[in-house]
Structure 1
Amino acid sequence: MTDNHPSIQAPDAIAMLRLSAIGDVCHTVPVLRALQDRWPETAITWVIGRLEASLVGDIDGVEFISFDKKAGLGAYRALRHSLARRRFDALLHMQVALRASAASLLIPAHRRIGFDRERARDYQWLFTRERIPPAPRAHVMDGLLAFAAELDADISRPRWDIPVPDTDEAFARRHIPEGRPTLLISPCSSQRARNFRDWRAERYARVIEHAAREHGMATLITGGPTERERAMAAAIEEEAECPVTSLVGETSLKQLFALIRRATAVLCPDSGPAHMGTAAGTPVIGLYASSNPDRTGPYFSRQWCVNRYPEALLAETGKTVEEVRWGTRVRNPEVMDRIEVEDVVEKLDGVVSGEW
């Protein structure tokens, strides 16, 4: 951030650039809401990923421009066409990726605000003129909210208010009727190289059995249409000695969000549904061993996270959380085995007892 940036006046137009992923887009919605609350007459344009737009792209009063990374150069041509002869008072460049920075060049803006130098990886600092203040060990969402603060918005009370169409609410109601306590499990994280976040199917099954026996809870398993996610759901169903309903590959993002809103609790590793749970106001029991929940955990549910990251990090690197770069991950295929069934059951019991 510059030491003496211009005094804030009501902007005519603001552009936000955050393409992906689902969790980070959920973190970005409170930025949008803070700007709307502070500058209700300002036109806001959000350049966003195609899939991510299916979750939040119907928020009123915002222009969403979908950027389809699978379209290659065509995505940039489409963005340039959409923004021809446009100019913004400020661009909030909130994604550290060369793809996003290349897209930022097509967004004309008087102020170009990016991350501080420490967080401006992939040369993002070359594409901006102002920077948010450094925050060496902040949660990801706090880092994004700092962009709204740069435009004089109040970030003290994050809100989401993501719309849910009646048809999607009806879908969720069919699967989670009023009054039925339900545990929603999204067992798989995104598929990335050396990204070891998935827990064992048999351990999910033991939690499901406890939820049914002790709390009378039904269980829904959700996920995408990949073979890996279908196989995980099938393994959990086979292991569990009580009924389980799988909706893997059968929901849109809106339908998933509607289900999460109606669920008693969400159980998942570090993944998009954890942050959808936060946006929906549903307690999230997060499973964290390879990544740090203080950085990427469900924002309002970190007390419900099972956190084995410090011990896993120490075993893998010989260093404490304070001694490594913020965001360091544990790249051990067996790291999630540090989370025991009893750890998760204890958190579930706390949520159900009303401590939330």
Structure 2
Amino acid sequence: MHTNAPLLIIAAGGTGGHMFPAQALAEEMLARGWRVRLSTDARGARYTHGFPSEVEVRVMPSATFARGGALAKLAAPFRIAAGVIGALAAMLRDRPAVVAGFGGYPAIPAMAAAWALRLPRMIHEQNGVLGRVNALFAKRVDRVACGTWPTALPAGVEAVHTGNPVRGAIRERAGAGYIPPGDYPMSLLAIGGSQGARILADLVPAAVAELPAPLRAHLRVAQQAREEDVERVLRAYRDLGMEAEVATFFADVPRRLSEAQLVIARAGASSVADISVVGRPAILIPFAAATADHQTANARGLKEAGAAVVLAEDGLDAGRLAEHMQAILGDPDRARQMSAAAVSQGRPDAAEALAGLVEALAGKDEA
């Protein structure tokens, strides 16, 4: 990469929800001849395995006031200050053309340094409600981009709807041909966010057990689960006489999505974006404890389009989940319509739209 190429610093936190769209923008900016540096913390660095090797990863100290004991909360401002000082020094040495924040507390040092140096800066919010860090910077940046529309914004803040950027491997499968359910092997994919979800471990195998035997006989299940849940989920499927793939993380979610007849998932912004772009019928179970119930907001577009059934986790049981699974897997026409409706909600060009904002901020926009 040419050292006088413009530099984009991406500031992002340590969950897949923040890191997948950050990775998508990094891929797009590299393709446009930019240098890209990721500013995150030690936790975020664990999610960088999918980033292109040309992306330089800088680990900056950061902290949250929302977790940990009294001592951790006391130490938080000092850790954040150390991170900001480190980010300021790095930006003075190698001045970025733009700094783009994707939320999460590890984004604080780079965003605060960019604000202090008055560098061109923007944030991208993945969810239908601003996260705490993005809410902090929303009035202190030049542009606010939103992945979910509409997004609840502070008074006086205007935003651009770009959609949520998806990784290249998802974009390659945009609108992939859908095989509706039938009397042949069908794929059920259950994904629960970066680390799986306890409720899916509890409910999905139990719901599969309640499906009619002829339908269940055709089902192939791949399910993401937390490490402590993997063995019991596997056992539940074995007890049904089913072979199932159960793992804490699937590296090939794009392929599995494109092959699925039905997806059961949380309503994290990245999951919703991936499901929309590939175009698959979904049953979404928003995480009830999500800040400001943002996962319900994320799911709204797919629900209103008729692409997804949205079930509140409060009071949800295996019987009710099984009813909805059977209603989709037993109705090929409905499943086909849901797939098409999902595609209508997809924004496969979101990374390009976001990259356009970056270049416009840097004064490199040709238009």
- TM-score, length-normalised on structure 2? 0.56
2:306 to 292, 303, 306: 303
Counterpart selection for 2:101 from 93, 97, 100: 93
Partner of 2:247: 248
Once the two structures are TM-superposed, the CA of residue 236 in structure 1 deviates from its matched residue by: 3.2
Asked whether 1:50 is paired with 2:45, we answer: yes
Structure 2 residue 210 is the aligned partner of structure 1 residue 206:
yes
Matches within 5 A, 1:153-302: 155=162, 160-162=167-169, 181-186=186-191, 190=195, 200=203, 201-207=205-211, 211-213=215-217, 216-224=218-226, 226-227=227-228, 229-234=229-234, 236-237=236-237, 241-249=240-248, 253-271=250-268, 274-275=271-272, 277-278=274-275, 281=278, 283=280, 285-288=282-285, 290=288, 295-297=297-299
- Per-residue CA deviations over 1:240-283 (Å, capped at 9, x if unaligned) read x341323324x5x5245544444444322335883584387262
Q: How many residues end up aligned between the 2 structures?
A: 284
Which range moved further: 346-355 or 77-86? 77-86
Deviations 1:304-328 (A, max 9, x none): 422234xxxxxxxxxxxxxxxxxxx
* Matches of 2:319 and 2:150, distance apart in 1: 25
> Paired residue for 1:121, among 132, 137, 161?
132
C-alpha distance 273-94 of structure 1, shift in aligned 2 (>3 A):
closer
Unaligned runs of 5+ in 2: 64-75, 153-157, 172-183, 340-367
Quick one: distance in 2 between partners of 1:217 and 1:344? 11
**1:101 is matched by which residue type in structure 2?**
I
Deviates more, 1:43-52 or 1:26-35: 26-35
Q: Distance in 2 between matches of 1:129 and 1:70?
A: 20
Quote how far apart the aligned CAs of 1:191 are. Answer: 7.8
1:81–1:110 Cα change, 3 Å: closer
Q: Partner of 1:16 in structure 2?
A: 10
* Structure 1 letter corresponding to 2:207: R
Change (3 A) 1:349 1:268: farther
Structure 2: distance between partners of 1:89 and 1:137:
28
Q: Percent identity?
A: 8
3-state DSSP of counterpart to 2:100: strand
Cα RMSD of the aligned pairs, angstroms, is 5.0
TM-score, length of structure 1 as denominator length: 0.58
Corresponding residue for residue 57 of structure 2:
65
- Residue by residue over 1:180-218, the C-alpha shift from the partner in whole angstroms, topping out at 9 and shown as x without a partner, is 6422223688589xx9676524114335956444xx332
1:346 and 1:273 map into 2 onto residues whose CA distance is 26
